[in-house]
Chains A and B, each alone.
Chain A
Amino acid sequence: MNLNNASNVSDSLNTLIEELSKLPGIGPKTAQRLAYYIVRQPDYENLQLAEAISAVTTKIIYCERCQNLSDYNPCFICTNPNRNTSQLCVVEEPMDVVAIEKSNCFKGLYHVLHGSISPLNGVGPDQLRIQQLFERLQNEEITEMIIATNPTLQGEATALYISNNNAKKDLVITHLARGLPIGGSLEYSDDITLSRAFQGRQQISE
């Protein structure tokens, strides 16, 4: 695909532009600007970038336990002896693990589904890592499963599907609290969020 006039200048530059334009949110013009920026950068910086891309392509694998992306199998979190192995937090994407780890509020294990149930887009339970989750629940000594899917229609569908179809007895299933975000405004809150915020209200400790 000839995206621009760079083909008249250099085939390698044209290839780079084509490859960059495949990235999400990068149009042909942005790809062209990035390609010319890369050309002007010092050689070692470009090589570092190339090596980083090459490394994630060859080294990154899925942890067969939590299904998260990692350099090792099992990953650092799954093998960490200081983690609470009785609590399992189920998230949609690997980036959700990063967000929760950054908050430093959870010390248990994770399970990454790699998406959410989205019937309108043809994504059903079989396209996600839900079966691996059910197998894990049967094989490991997990007492609480915290479902941390997004509070969206797809996220709620996924949470309901998992909780309805879990076969493990004596498992406490919870999901993250719903309510008002820090920095949000009561005036602009929707009905469902407000009603759940009232349901989950807490006493102010003295």
Chain B
Amino acid sequence: MISSRTYTSQGLVLKYFPYKEADLILTVLTKQHGKLQAIAKGARKPQSKFSGHVEPLTVVDIQLAKGKSIETVTQVQTYKAYPSMYSDINKLANGIYISELIDQFTPDKEVNTKLFDTGIKVLDIISTSEEPDLSIRNFEFEVLKLSGFLPELYTCLKCGCEIIAGQHRYSVSSGGVICIDCSDIDNTLELSLATMKVLRYFNRHNITTEPAFKIKTETYTELKSLLIETIIFWLERDLKSSQFIEHLKSIQKSYQRHDCII
């Protein structure tokens, strides 16, 4: 039986790096074939039919030719782009963070259709929402869940007892909640009832729209630190783009302080 050398898929361009005179090597999360690398020949030339379509954070219909080590892009057309991200640095930084998160948690050529759809959904929210932070935390939880690192939220990971509301702490290394009797204060994180409720909400609901509720600042801080610690633990590294987001936030805070003084 003769198999076709080319195939098509919908994909999200996660990143690229320049190669040779005018080529780009793309990392694309495809819906039907998982994450893969592909060379887009001549894509850095202004007249290239690929240019503009292969920028990161673009959803594309892509045709690829099978190669020995990496695929070759033969056709590509934008399916969905996010122009609003190109005019707001916070949206852009958040978009890049989503792209890095997907890239780091996805093994090559492993199909994960749900992750693809969820990734597009959170990018939709980031591009339109003024306060997408809670949706980004929701996506972090979703990535952990869809990659096989779902935190346990209902039974103690040490003794197996059912968790009683308010009587719990969180262990990053164990991968979930621990009852207050089994917890070791030095090796576990504080987990308030409010944060526990938000985590359980994330577990029950897929990202379709922004969460319809708001949470207190201290709950958000606890939630964020808990999810970031979990991500760093499983990846065994920090995400570079999160440092950039923190840098932007620190500048904005210093401007706000400056405005107050004036």
A binds B: yes
Interchain CB contact under 8 A, A181 and B46:
yes
At the interface, yes or no: A2 with Cβ under 8 Å from chain B? no
Q: Which of B56-108 contact A (CB under 8 A)?
A: 56-58, 78, 81, 83, 86-89, 92-93, 96-97, 99-100
Which of B112-120, B125-133, B210-218, B236-244 is found at the contact surface with chain A? B236-244
Of the listed residues A120, A122, A191, the one surrounded by the most CB atoms of chain B closer than 10 A to its CB is A120
Chain A residues whose C-beta falls within 8 Å of the C-beta of B47 in the assembled complex: 181, 183-185
Chain B residues whose C-beta falls within 8 Å of the C-beta of A203 in the assembled complex: none
Which of A5-13, A15-23, A39-47, A157-165 is found at the contact surface with chain B? A157-165
Chain A residues whose C-beta falls within 8 Å of the C-beta of B152 in the assembled complex: none
Of the listed residues B52, B56, B78, the one surrounded by the most CB atoms of chain A closer than 10 A to its CB is B52
The answer to whether A153 and B92 touch (CB under 8 A), given A190-B78, A192-B52, A192-B86, is yes
Q: Which of A127-158 contact B (CB under 8 A)?
A: 152-153, 156-157
* Closest partner residue, chain B, to A164 (CB atom): B89
At the interface, yes or no: B204 with Cβ under 8 Å from chain A? no
Chain A residues whose C-beta falls within 8 Å of the C-beta of B241 in the assembled complex: 119-120
Smallest beta-carbon distance B232→chain A, Å: 16
Smallest beta-carbon distance B238→chain A, Å: 10
At the interface, yes or no: A70 with Cβ under 8 Å from chain B? no
Report the bound CA distance from A124 to B245 in whole Å. 10
Interface size class of A (residues with CB under 8 A): 20 to 34
B55, B88, B240: the one contacting A119 at CB < 8 Å is: B240
Interchain CB contact under 8 A, B93 and A119:
yes
At the interface, yes or no: B247 with Cβ under 8 Å from chain A? yes
Interchain CB contact under 8 A, B53 and A120:
no
Report the bound CA distance from A161 to B240 in whole Å. 17
Chain A residues whose C-beta falls within 8 Å of the C-beta of B83 in the assembled complex: 191-192, 195
* Closest partner residue, chain A, to B103 (CB atom): A120
Q: Is the interface of A mostly helix, strand, loop or mixed?
A: helix
Q: How many A-B residue pairs have CB under 8 A?
A: 72
Chain A residues whose C-beta falls within 8 Å of the C-beta of B87 in the assembled complex: 160
Chain B residues whose C-beta falls within 8 Å of the C-beta of A124 in the assembled complex: 243-244, 247
Smallest beta-carbon distance A27→chain B, Å: 11
Interchain CB contact under 8 A, B57 and A153:
yes
Interchain CB contact under 8 A, A156 and B92:
yes
Chain A residues whose C-beta falls within 8 Å of the C-beta of B243 in the assembled complex: 119, 122, 124
Smallest beta-carbon distance A117→chain B, Å: 7
Interchain CB contact under 8 A, B46 and A191:
no
Interface size class of B (residues with CB under 8 A): 20 to 34
Report the bound CA distance from A35 to B9 in whole Å. 45
Smallest beta-carbon distance A93→chain B, Å: 12
Chain B residues whose C-beta falls within 8 Å of the C-beta of A25 in the assembled complex: 20
B53, B57, B99, B244: the one contacting A190 at CB < 8 Å is: B53
Interchain CB contact under 8 A, B89 and A192:
no
**B33-58 interface code vs A (CB 8 A; 1 in, 0 out):** 00000000000001101011101111
At the interface, yes or no: A121 with Cβ under 8 Å from chain B? yes
Chain B residues whose C-beta falls within 8 Å of the C-beta of A188 in the assembled complex: 49
Chain B residues whose C-beta falls within 8 Å of the C-beta of A164 in the assembled complex: 89
Chain A residues whose C-beta falls within 8 Å of the C-beta of B97 in the assembled complex: 119
Chain B residues whose C-beta falls within 8 Å of the C-beta of A125 in the assembled complex: 247
Interchain CB contact under 8 A, A156 and B86:
yes
At the interface, yes or no: A193 with Cβ under 8 Å from chain B? yes
**B223-262 interface code vs A (CB 8 A; 1 in, 0 out):** 0000000000000000011011001000100000000000
Chain B residues whose C-beta falls within 8 Å of the C-beta of A181 in the assembled complex: 46-47
The answer to whether A119 and B244 touch (CB under 8 A), given A156-B86, A188-B49, is yes
Subset of 18 A-B contacts with CB under 8 Å: A25-B20, A119-B243, A120-B56, A120-B241, A122-B240, A124-B244, A125-B247, A160-B92, A164-B89, A181-B47, A183-B46, A184-B46, A184-B47, A190-B52, A192-B55, A192-B78, A192-B86, A193-B52
